[in-house]
Amino acid sequence: MRIFVTGASGHLGSAVIPDLLAAGHQVVGLARSDAAAVTVEKLGAEVRRGDLDDLDGLRAAAAAADGVIHLAFRHDLMVSGDIEGAARADLAGIEAIAGALAGSGKPLVGTSGTLMAAFAAPGQIGTEEVAGESGYRIDAENLVVGLAGREVRSSVIRLPPTVHGDLDRHGFIPGMIAIARQRGYAAYLGEGANRWPAVHTLDAARLYRLAVESAPAGSRWHAVADEGVALSEIAAAIGLGLDVPVRSLSPDEVGDYFGFLALPAQIDNPSTSTITRSRLGWQPQHPGLIEDLAQGHYFRDTL
């Protein structure tokens, strides 16, 4: 297959492209800058210049492909506080891709998060069957899934808050490490019993390939290896890696300490991938989050 990948030079794209190429696929990667284009070319993919705002370019690239994996997201807008702007850009990009694929039966694999399941069904273990009606990124997830009605073999992969590995430079874990380094201590809320699921980047990449190859239309999948790692355990691993103390925060302290990570740092998001493993034959093979943190690569880099 000739597969168009958005977000090709990013954390996940840097793992998805080699996995696709190793399986015999051709890859066209979207690159919004010269540096991104160099990265995509080095990964072995054909470069398509453009970004999420180039809707005509997205349509053309999708129309010329046998399938699309959509990884790109305006994280810059999210981090700056323009969450609605980031969501609008994502929806517009998906609509452009969908317009090119409608009626073709070609696959489109979108990206969401297990945190969406936590918002949709608070207090429950998140499964692939949980779905919210509307909200931040839920609208994009539902849009992709609904494309099955427009003859697109659409599917969504929900990523955990922690997609970890030595390719991870800007995710939640690097963010927490940077905060702990700046503050001089690692922290968690209260008893730190709230949990985050996690997956290694290379395991997530393989799931994207399996989905673009065979996922049925209108399906949701969970890239979950660790079903729930307590935030106190994550903070302890960060404290050990940085050789700084670990402390509990009161609710009043969370916003000041975590900044844009304050909301996810308070959410309990245990999630399973039982259906994904059974139906797609996906089995995580790489280290879990705590084992990965113990390997030290997160702490050797300047974050």
**pLDDT tens profile 56-101:** 999 999 999 999 999 998 776 566 666 777 788 899 999 999 999 9
**3, burial (CB in 10 Å: exposed 0-12, middle 13-18, buried 19+):** buried
Every domain range in the chain assigned CATH 3.40.50.720: 2-162+199-224
Other CB atoms within 10 Å distance of the CB of residue 95? 15
pLDDT in tens, the chain (303 residues): 999 999 999 999 999 999 999 999 999 999 999 999 999 999 999 999 999 999 999 999 999 999 999 999 877 656 666 677 778 889 999 999 999 999 999 999 999 999 988 888 888 899 999 998 888 889 999 999 999 999 999 999 999 999 999 999 888 999 999 999 999 999 999 999 999 999 999 999 999 999 999 999 999 999 999 999 999 999 999 999 999 999 999 999 999 999 989 999 999 999 999 999 999 999 999 999 999 999 999 998 544
| Interatomic CA distance for residues 167 and 184, integer angstroms | 25
Give the CATH superfamily of 2-162+199-224. Answer: NAD(P)-binding Rossmann-like Domain (3.40.50.720)
Every domain range in the chain assigned CATH 3.90.25: 170-197+227-270+287-300
Other CB atoms within 10 Å distance of the CB of residue 12? 26
Which pLDDT does position 123 carry in this prediction? Answer: 83
Q: What is the pTM of this model?
A: 0.94
| Interatomic CA distance for residues 208 and 4, integer angstroms | 12
> Phi/psi class of residue 241: alpha, beta or left (left: φ > 0; alpha: ψ in -120 to 50)?
alpha
**Beta-strand (E) ranges in the chain?**
2-6, 26-31, 46-49, 67-70, 107-113, 153-159, 162-164, 186-189, 195-200, 219-222, 226-230, 246-249
Domain 170-197+227-270+287-300 -> CATH class: alpha beta
